[in-house]
Amino acid sequence: MAGSEEWVEVVGRAITRRRFLTKLGAAVLGMATAWIRGLNMQAYAVSQSYGSGCCHLCLPPGSAYESLPSCAPRQPYRTKWCWYCVDSRGFSYKCCEAYEPDVPEGMCGGCIKVFASWYVFLGPHSHEGD
């Protein structure tokens, strides 16, 4: 035991409490900075949009999952969220995102837990019902 106690004493003299706390603070600050940068990169990735016309999708358009039920928070099954839009040329689109189970509250229509995106070109916009 005397050997390990001597080692602790030598290390204790070499590293003062102030120096230890300074290094610990720098390490924590570095980890926090890396975490914030990671969040910024996620936000950048989510801000990317794909699609055609007026559809701004979370993922590149691919297979349609039309048979999925409409998105609702915390459902234990896959769901979809669809919306309609009209582009600047007057063409209508149906835009959709498919979600994994357990979408968080308020995230239907967002890019969290999206596994597929697609759109359907509907043709010239009809002004009936506007």
Closest C-alpha to 98, from 48, 45, 59, 44:
59
Q: pLDDT higher for 105 or 99?
A: 99
User: For the segment 1-56, what is each residue's pLDDT rounded down to a tens digit?
Assistant: 566 677 666 666 666 666 656 665 665 555 544 444 444 433 333 445 786 779 99
- Structure pTM? 0.58
Q: What is the DSSP string of 36-62?
A: HHHHHHHHHHHH--B-STT--BSS-B-
State the Cα–Cα distance between residues 1 and 102, nearest whole angstrom.
55
25, with CB counted inside 10 A (0-12, 13-18, 19+), is exposed
pLDDT tens track for 57-76: 999 998 889 889 999 888 89
Confidence at residue 37, expressed as pLDDT on a 0 to 100 scale = 47
